[in-house]
Amino acid sequence: MEPNTPIEKITRLSPFQKKALSGMGIKTIWDVLKHFPTRYGEKNAVKSIEFLTAGESAVIFGRISNLKVGKTFKSRVPISTAQIEDTTGKIKLMWFSQPYIAKMFEEGSIVRVEGQVSERKIGSDNQSSELSLLNPKIEKVNKIPDGTSESLFGETDDHNLFPTYKETKGISSNWIYHCLQKIFRSGILENLKDPIPSYILKKYSLPTLSTALVWIHAPRTEKDADIARKRFAFEEIFFVQLDRQKERQLTMREKTFVIKKTKKEMDEFIGTFPFPITKAQKQSVDTILKDFESGHPMSRLLEGDVGSGKTAVAASACFSVVTTPPPNREYGALQVAYMAPTEILAEQHFESFIEYFKKYKIEVGLVTGSGAKKFPSKTPGETWTKISKPQLLKWVESGQIPILIGTHSLIQKTVKFKNLAFIIIDEQHRFGVKQRKELRRKQDIAPHLLSMTATPIPRTLALTIFGDLDLSLLDELPPGRKPVETKIILPQNRQDVYESMREEIKSGRQAYVICPRIDEPDKEKELAVNARSVTEETKRLQEKVFKEFKVMSITGKMSPKEKEDAMRKFKNKEAHILVATSVVEVGVNVPNATMIVIENAERFGLAQLHQLRGRVLRSSHRPYCFIFTESKSAKTIQRLKSFMKAKNGFELAEADLKQRGAGDLGGQKQWGVSDIAMEALRNIKMVEAAREEAKNIIEKDIELDSFPLLKARLNKANTIHME
């Protein structure tokens, strides 16, 4: 019996179960062992009523009322009905053929109910629907467990540590539990080799692999389960760190361009800006210049809220590069590639760079999917000129044009530089390192890399996911910015907000309306609570509320081209109101848009709300942000209030991590780490320990020759990445 032995060798599987398991990515014994419980104790998750979804199983604690007995309309079956209410909402309960239930409970008593949430059409036209629990288990309890309706987690007590797993039809938690018992009895655990060196386990008092597997699936105490989770979290972060530290070391050892500028030269350039730079900007520039002098390729992440002035930092760094001649030459210039995520942004950067560099007559090129431009123009009265792409690329290749700005089209093989010394990547922090590799092509000297982002990332996450990058923060906005006036709006005041929007739009401004979903709920699957959708809201606003204005929409379902077109139209004032999902979060700049309305704000993370609000910060007009919520949960209101007051994205990202939990940062989807590792990111000590240990190992033994198990695992992980 080996970890990669197929499951059917240990337990009988029906073809249906086999299919269900493989749908969950489970084929081997090892896969089952790594299918960790999502929780213990309560067999189902304790939920707040407001977050119930049709089809899920849930446990709810709350007050019961409206107890009644009746008969079903057609078949005359006796039916008991009631409703249960917690701090977040109400839901109907129904029991068929159990008329006594209504007699068993007193109005207003506190109960625990458990069952499946179902959704049914109501009303004569079947237009609306309602959620209910059908035939739920019900029992009286003395009190609602602490924090239940807020935290989603009930109390677990030691005598009830039944593991709950992600399930699928045919594969219940119970089935997994029994399958694991068989695996444990097979003796396979005794032969497992632990990839984490034992000195590290000892140092941090972590259990070995086989102990941790037993403890996570069949813990005797909650503490054992916690320590086991901690070990697996450490393991995952440790491997991410090994990978990043190796990447970092390999980069550090490469040859690069040494760029030295005097303070006087830099001050002179920065002195041409129409504003004094902020302390944070100055510090970032100084750090970058130090990196440039060091002789090692820079790999740096510059993190700063929208409007914190990242472009000015990038321009200063560029200046030092393009005024430096190539090695062993007295004239000519080192070159810069500046990559933006969209055409609109690339064009914006092109225009700002012209402003920054025109006094120095430094040439700037722009290449996107739709063509090429060059500054300066030879034609009098024109700042830039359209030129053919091949012509522009020829000048880039000969080294005549030192700065090339563009979209993904920069990656194309036709784009060649003579002396590419510096790469700037805007808003694509996940790909920075990979793009450096692609952009430098066969150049044997490594360019420096600056990756810039407005996504607020908690420190632990940055240290992990971007462990191969150094971090600079712009944690201060330029002085004199009008903060966005943020208000939480009660549902009954919706009309007032529309009136304010109407006035703003009449005076020439534009507005965003953000909805959490694209389409109306898929009645089977999606969140049955009625979160507003872009489709419906666009229609409603256009037809019912703002007949006199043009309303358009944009969502993540559209192709990149469609999105660009929609944004361009909005920017050109072809519409007054843009209804969107959170796709407008990144990088879009429409200075004339001064209002943002966010529907169902409780459904967004704090950091995300902050980024959305940043969309209206660009303007010289007073910006407004109105947030709607139908949530009555005290915790949600608390969160939204902290958003109202906060000025800085980093604080909010940390607050999100603490309050909502790592899952809400979009671990798997956005950053490619498991839920268990995201949980660990709440623990800065663990992250630092994993980083330290990985660094020590890599510094001594970059190929991991004396750690064959680590090496095998890391290589395996990397092949998976490449696929």
- Name every residue whose Cβ is closer than 8 Å to that of residue 626 and which is 6 or more positions away in sequence: 486, 487, 489, 497, 500, 595, 596, 597, 598
Q: Which is nearer to ligand ADP, 632 or 647 (CB)?
A: 647
Decide if residue 16 touches ligand ADP (CB under 6 A). no
Min dist CB 345 to ligand ADP, Å, is 9
Element (H, E) at 36: none
Min dist CB 596 to ligand ADP, Å, is 16
Number of residues that bind ligand ADP (CB under 6 A): 14
Decide if residue 312 touches ligand ADP (CB under 6 A). yes
Decide if residue 309 touches ligand ADP (CB under 6 A). yes
Alpha-carbon gap, residue 385 to 350, rounded angstroms: 12
Alpha-carbon gap, residue 205 to 196, rounded angstroms: 12
Q: Which is nearer to ligand ADP, 335 or 453 (CB)?
A: 453
Min dist CB 582 to ligand ADP, Å, is 17
Judged by CB under 6 A, the residue of 278, 472, 510, 553 near ligand ADP is 278
Beta-sheet strands, E only, within 496-569: 510-514, 551-554
Quick one: tokens of 509? 């401004």
Decide if residue 277 touches ligand ADP (CB under 6 A). yes
DSSP state, residue 120:
E
Q: Which is nearer to ligand ADP, 46 or 312 (CB)?
A: 312
Q: What is 278-325 written as a DSSP string?
A: PHHHHHHHHHHHHHHHSSS--EEEEEE-TTS-HHHHHHHHHHHHHTSP
Residues 474-533 that bind ligand ADP (CB under 6 A): 478
Alpha-carbon gap, residue 429 to 424, rounded angstroms: 10
Judged by CB under 6 A, the residue of 88, 241, 251, 311 near ligand ADP is 311
Decide if residue 170 touches ligand ADP (CB under 6 A). no
Helix, strand or coil, per DSSP, at residue 719: helix
Decide if residue 410 touches ligand ADP (CB under 6 A). no
Decide if residue 304 touches ligand ADP (CB under 6 A). yes
CA angle 698, 704, 708 (to 5 degrees): 145
Alpha-carbon gap, residue 649 to 376, rounded angstroms: 37
Element (H, E) at 77: none
Q: Which is nearer to ligand ADP, 426 or 564 (CB)?
A: 426
Min dist CB 249 to ligand ADP, Å, is 30
Beta-sheet strand order (sheet of 470-474): 385-387, 371-375, 364-368, 403-406, 335-339, 420-426, 448-453, 299-304, 470-474
Length of the chain: 723
Beta-sheet strands, E only, within 49-169: 57-71, 78-86, 89-96, 110-122, 128-134, 137-140, 163-164
Min dist CB 238 to ligand ADP, Å, is 34
Q: Is 263 exposed, middle or buried (0-12, 13-18, 19+ CB in 10 A)?
A: exposed
Stretch that binds ligand ADP, among 157-165, 273-281, 441-449, 507-515 (CB under 6 A): 273-281
Min dist CB 82 to ligand ADP, Å, is 53
CA angle 633, 126, 494 (to 5 degrees): 40
Element (H, E) at 339: strand 335-339
Residues 446-485 that bind ligand ADP (CB under 6 A): 454, 478
Q: Which is nearer to ligand ADP, 311 or 538 (CB)?
A: 311
Min dist CB 289 to ligand ADP, Å, is 17
* Interior/surface letters 50-77, b for 16+ CB within 10 angstroms, e for the rest: bbbbbeebbbbbbebeebeeeeeeeeee
Q: Which is nearer to ligand ADP, 310 or 429 (CB)?
A: 310
DSSP state, residue 342:
S
Stretch that binds ligand ADP, among 39-47, 308-316, 523-531, 603-611 (CB under 6 A): 308-316
Min dist CB 425 to ligand ADP, Å, is 13
Helix, strand or coil, per DSSP, at residue 501: helix
Q: Which is nearer to ligand ADP, 251 or 278 (CB)?
A: 278
Decide if residue 41 touches ligand ADP (CB under 6 A). no
Q: Which is nearer to ligand ADP, 297 or 587 (CB)?
A: 587
Stretch that binds ligand ADP, among 184-192, 261-269, 272-280, 396-404 (CB under 6 A): 272-280
Decide if residue 308 touches ligand ADP (CB under 6 A). yes
Site string for ligand ADP, 182-221 (x = CB under 6 A): ----------------------------------------
Q: Is 116 exposed, middle or buried (0-12, 13-18, 19+ CB in 10 A)?
A: middle
Q: If we measure between CA atoms, which residue out of 317, 296, 310, 269 comes closest to residue 423?
A: 317
Q: Which is nearer to ligand ADP, 380 or 480 (CB)?
A: 480
Q: Which is nearer to ligand ADP, 32 or 266 (CB)?
A: 266
Site string for ligand ADP, 232-271 (x = CB under 6 A): ----------------------------------------
Quick one: tokens of 418? 């003579």
Alpha-carbon gap, residue 84 to 132, rounded angstroms: 10
Min dist CB 658 to ligand ADP, Å, is 26
Q: Which is nearer to ligand ADP, 82 or 313 (CB)?
A: 313
Decide if residue 429 touches ligand ADP (CB under 6 A). no
Q: Which is nearer to ligand ADP, 280 or 362 (CB)?
A: 280
Alpha-carbon gap, residue 38 to 348, rounded angstroms: 46
Min dist CB 302 to ligand ADP, Å, is 9
Min dist CB 352 to ligand ADP, Å, is 7
Decide if residue 316 touches ligand ADP (CB under 6 A). no
Min dist CB 308 to ligand ADP, Å, is 4
Min dist CB 610 to ligand ADP, Å, is 13
Q: If we measure between CA atoms, which residue out of 278, 274, 302, 276 comes closest to residue 288?
A: 302
Decide if residue 37 touches ligand ADP (CB under 6 A). no
Quick one: tokens of 28? 């081997």
Q: Which is nearer to ligand ADP, 44 or 348 (CB)?
A: 348
Min dist CB 310 to ligand ADP, Å, is 3
Min dist CB 19 to ligand ADP, Å, is 49
Judged by CB under 6 A, the residue of 306, 372, 579, 676 near ligand ADP is 306
Element (H, E) at 367: strand 364-368
Residues lying near ligand ADP in the complex (CB under 6 A) are found at 275, 277-278, 281, 304, 306-312, 454, 478
